Chains A and B, each alone.
Chain A
């Protein structure tokens, strides 16, 4: 990258690299990449905030519960949630406030399922914006294959999945012919059971030879597409399909914006140039036409804004219409950003939680 005039930095990774608060850094092998870590290496909420919250004695975790509706009172405020527990019992939990954090697909689904006389089109959906402007961070990449007679093995399975990143292509550059940009980052292609590339022989001697020749002589450089919010790209309730609880499943309607195609095509080609400079003998662009629906994150479906006509929640992630209903996941992102959203989700949740405690909770009575 330095030879090409580009800058890089160590990729922030949500994992401990040394013992920390009783957690062990067992993930230097990257083995649990794409899987829940049964140990304590990866900094998932289950390992970090939830144990702290439980230790306060003021937090109760109810697992296997399935919320089917946020219930409202005559005054239009949320009064609690209806849910089914693991044993199949229907329960009503009363609440002074409800914070929905189901992610960019299940959060709008729950709001749309929560229909009542006051909210016939779904809760907090007077604007009709619940479920709209879905963005998905399509993950595309260029693969580099290295000739084993020229290059030493890369051993991409060692270390963390990601170690390096560049933000050099994040800002808009009009000369590229599109707006926006994103983070790029190199990685191995996958662990043996998932490892593959387009055009790989699928069976027979040729398949085994390709696995043997290229498993340790391959890598990719990915792009997390900074996709544009489009109103017609949406999550709504499926008219035909129901889940095991008899509730309509989420239906997703999505067509990439022309700028998404242009941005992705340019960046994947650029990533290929970087791989060539690194010595790859063959570069394979893996554009979204080849891996349709390869999404990384679900965002934007309960967008944040000042105008109740065009957004669902305000700048404190509180519903414009129901003043004790909040959404604290990536559904509130008005635009997708071109980076992984977890840290932003966490920071925003702290910010908005503090606002609830300082201001909104003042009016609550026991």
Chain B
């Protein structure tokens, strides 16, 4: 059966804010960690975006993997496809299960409390034990900042299956902040608003023509665009 013929199950990753995979302690621990990876400042962070719910749905099984193109549910995987994906989910579950234990061990040995009870600076110190120094502010004229984990160098896919816990957590938090809200994170598109991405209201809007970026374009500009006075005017303050 081709993927276009897969059954759409009317599931909603955002139907509740309760864990489907994590236990309560793991849910609160991972939520606290995501909140240090993309912190809340004058704008919402990973906690408000529900990155923890995105991660929980990812670990819950194969039911939230392929959103249907119109956003009405998720495609039901089966056969070899599902078998292969379950192997991936099981690997990630083990990384997260061990990761929560490790965060608590480090937290207890350094500060005498479980990770979720620590102050933010203490949580950062624990994360630094796993992922190395916390990156400093990026400067256009400074050295490269770096840090462990996160998105790859370009816009190309990466093999998430080869990542360790900290790198996976950083990447998944980012996905939970910026992925389409249909997957359980980026609640209400708040991750997109933080960086100024005017994304679609719903996934359906990308397939029925109602989502458009036409407001950002100079529609009847003539080639060569760089000679069009309206284009020339744009760009410089």
On A, residues with C-beta under 8 Å from B are 1-2, 8, 10, 24, 26, 28-32, 34, 38-39, 63-64, 86, 139, 141, 145, 147, 149-153, 155, 157-159, 164, 189-216, 220, 244, 279, 281-282, 286, 290-291, 294
Residues of B within 8 A of A208 (CB): 38-39, 41, 45, 194
With CB as the reference atom, state the residue of chain B lying closest to A159.
B217
Q: Say whether B237 faces chain A, with CB atoms less than 8 Å apart.
A: yes
Q: Which residue of A lies closest to B81 (CB)?
A: A244
Taken together as a complex, chains A and B put the C-alpha atoms of A192 and B191 apart, in Å, by: 9
The answer to whether B178 and A192 touch across the interface, beta carbons within 8 angstroms, is yes
Main secondary structure of the interface of A (DSSP, over half): loop
- By the criterion CB–CB under 8 Å, are A244 and B84 in contact? yes
Contact B192 A192 (CB under 8 A): yes
Name B's interface SS.
loop
- Contact mask B174-190 → A, CB, 8 Å, 1/0? 11001100000000000
How many of B's residues come within 8 Å of A, CB to CB? 74
Which residues in A have their C-beta under 8 angstroms from that of B141?
282
Stretch at the interface among B19-27, B92-100, B104-112, B142-150: B142-150
In angstroms, Cα B137 to Cα A203, docked, is 10
Residue pairs across A and B with Cβ atoms less than 8 A apart, 22 shown, are A34-B155, A63-B1, A63-B5, A152-B234, A155-B216, A157-B198, A189-B154, A195-B178, A196-B154, A198-B153, A201-B137, A201-B147, A202-B135, A203-B134, A203-B135, A203-B148, A206-B134, A207-B38, A207-B150, A208-B41, A220-B154, A286-B153
- Give Cα A158 to B131, complex, Å: 35
Contact check, B138 vs A209: say whether CB atoms are below 8 A apart.
Answer: yes
| Residues in A neighbouring B91, C-beta threshold 8 A | none
Cα(A29)–Cα(B216), bound, Å:
10
Q: Is the CB of B235 within 8 A of A215?
A: no
Task: Find A196's partner among B151, B195, B198, B225 (CB 8 Å cutoff).
Answer: B151
Task: Report whether A203 and B217 are in contact in the complex, using a CB–CB cutoff of 8 Å.
Answer: no
Taking a contact as CB atoms under 8 Å apart, the answer to whether A216 and B195 are in contact is yes
Q: Are A201 and B138 in contact (CB under 8 A)?
A: yes
Contact of B209 with A by CB under 8 A? yes
A117 CA to B135 CA in the complex, in Å? 61
Q: Which 5 A-B pairs have the closest CB atoms?
A: A199-B144, A190-B155, A38-B69, A201-B135, A202-B147
Q: Say yes or no: A29-B137 contact (C-beta < 8 A), given A197-B153, A198-B153.
A: no
Give the residues in chain B near A200, CB-CB below 8 Å: 138, 145-146, 150-151
A201: chain B residues within 8 A (beta carbon): 135-138, 145-147
- Quick check: A151 and B237 within 8 Å, CB to CB? yes
Neighbour of B211 across the interface among A31, A34, A152, A244, CB < 8 A? A31
A193 → chain B, closest Cβ, in Å?
Answer: 4
